[in-house]
Amino acid sequence: MRRNITKILTCASLALIVTLMLTTTALAAKPRRALIPYTRRLPRIDKIELQMLKAKEIWIGSIEATKTIDGTEAQTIASLWRSLTYTSFTADCHEPAYGIKFYRNGKVVLYASLCWQCDNVRFIEPKLGEQGFAANSRSVKQLLQVFTKAFPPS
C-alpha cells in the first residue's frame, strides 16, 4: 500500500512539474503586456544614452561611463531593442550591467538596465519590474556588441 501511495505521489509531482514547465515556456515567449509599449512597440526615438554601470550587490551602484547616440545609429539600436526575444525572469545579479535610455522629443521614454550574466532587463523608468531575455538570440548578441563597442573592456 505504501508503495502505491509513493507511486501516485511521484506521478502527480511529475505531472505538476511538467505542467508548470509548459506553462512557463508558453508565457515566457513574449514580454508581459505592460512591457509591450516599451519593448516591441517602443515609439520612434530621437536619441539613446548608453551607460556602463557599476553594480552594488543587485542594484545599480553608479554610472561609470555614458555615450550618447542619435540619428541612424540610434534608430538601429532601437530596432534591435524592439526585436529582443523575451524569456521568463531569471537571476538578478546585474554584473556586468549596462543601462540604456531612449529619448523622444528630449524626454526619457524608457530607462532600463541589462545584464548578460543573468540575462534580464530591469525597467527603471517607468518602473515595470524585470523581464528575462534570450541571451543566445541574434538581436541580443548584437545589442551586447553595441555596448562592448561603446565601452571596450580595459
Query: How far is the C-alpha of 81 from the C-alpha of 42, rounded, in Å?
Result: 8
Lowest average pLDDT, out of 67-71, 92-96, 106-110, 145-149, goes to 92-96
Nearest to 126 by CA among 27, 28, 32: 32
Q: Percent of the chain beyond pLDDT 70?
A: 71
Percent of the chain with pLDDT over 90: 44
pLDDT tens digits, one per residue of 98-154: 999 999 999 999 999 998 888 888 899 999 888 888 888 999 999 999 999 999 987
Q: Kindly tell me if the per-residue pLDDT of 74 is higher than 90.
A: yes
What is the C-alpha separation between 43 and 46, in angstroms, rounded? 10
Least confident residue range of 2-6, 36-40, 55-59, 86-90 = 2-6
Q: Which residues contact 132 (CB under 8 A, 6 or more apart)?
A: 28, 86, 87, 88, 89, 90, 119, 120, 121
Contact 123, 129 (CB under 8 A): yes
Give the pLDDT score at 73: 95
On the question of pLDDT at 45 being above 60, the answer is yes
Calculate the CA 151 to chain-centre distance. 19
Cell of residue 35, nine digits: 512591457
What pTM value is reported for the model? 0.75
Angle, CA of 32, 133 and 14, to the nearest 5°: 80
Candidate from 1-10, 52-61, 116-125 with smallest mean pLDDT: 1-10
CB 130, CB 89: distance < 8 Å: yes
Q: Where are the domains of the chain?
A: 1-28, 31-150
Quote the pLDDT of residue 12.
Answer: 45
